[in-house]
A and B are shown apart, each in its own frame.
Chain A
Amino acid sequence: MNIFRLTGDLSHLAAIIILLLKIWKSRSCAGISGKSQILFAIVFTTRYLDLLSTFISLYNSCMKVIYIGCAYATVYMIYMKFRATYDGNHDSFRVEFLVVPVGGLAVLINHDFSFMEILWTFSIYLESVAILPQLFMISKTGEAETITTHYLFCLGLYRALYIFNWVWRFYFEGFFDLIAIVAGVVQTILYCDFFYLYVTKVLKGKKLSLPA
């Protein structure tokens, strides 16, 4: 555990809670991609199956349970509780174009050809692109609520901090994982355009809206 890892996890937790609170307080999931949230629920489920087989630490187990629980709660709020406010027409990203290639890649490129390891690899690859339906939705509608941009910023910050964490682990533990690093860098790059808009617009008190 190092400072980048811990702040990365906390940033990730903040993102998840910001999104849940936004939906709960406004009684609406307008502007939120249900497809991205389903993908994140799949990511957590396939990665944290080791909750049942391996104990790492209390911190590790608790965070995993919280992440999975929040992911399913978010999906429930979007597709069940506040379904009437879900903007399905604008959430039109074709997720099969992500899930199928990512599944194929996980079978082809992994550390070990075993069920658990392939699912872990699948979750790493899927997480790197799971935000695309959300970014696609924003580019389609041309705007995002400020609270949604805070959610995206925390999520992107978590990825960036994890990269620093891996640099740290490489220097101090002599360990690196190419699969996670490549997927993590891809994921962080996807946020760069958004980071730019966040700093130049949202932090200056303006709403995030894209030029028509």
Chain B
Amino acid sequence: GIDSQLKDEL
């Protein structure tokens, strides 16, 4: 699946 790449944010 295509996850959001923002997972490194809080």
A120-B4 in contact (CB<8A): yes
Within 8 A of A (CB), among B1-10: 1-10
A177 touches B1 (CB 8 A): no
- In the assembled complex, the Cα of A109 lies from the Cα of B4 at a distance in Å of 12
Q: How far is the CB of B9 from chain A (nearest CB, A)?
A: 7
> In whole angstroms, how far apart are the Cα atoms of A112 and B5 in the complex?
12
Interchain CB contact under 8 A, A175 and B5: yes
Q: Are B10 and A56 in contact (CB under 8 A)?
A: no
A28-57: contact bitstring with B at CB < 8 Å (1 yes, 0 no)?
A: 000000000000000000000010001011
| Contact, CB under 8 Å: A50 / B1 | no
In the complex the two chains form, is A117's CB within 8 Å of B10's CB? Answer: no
Identify which of A60-68, A85-93, A139-147 touches chain B: A60-68
**Contacting pair B4 A180 (CB below 8 A):** yes
Which residues on B sit within 8 Å (CB–CB) of A175? 5
Chain B residues with Cβ under 8 A from A24's Cβ? none
B residues sitting closer than 8 Å to A (CB atoms) are 1-10
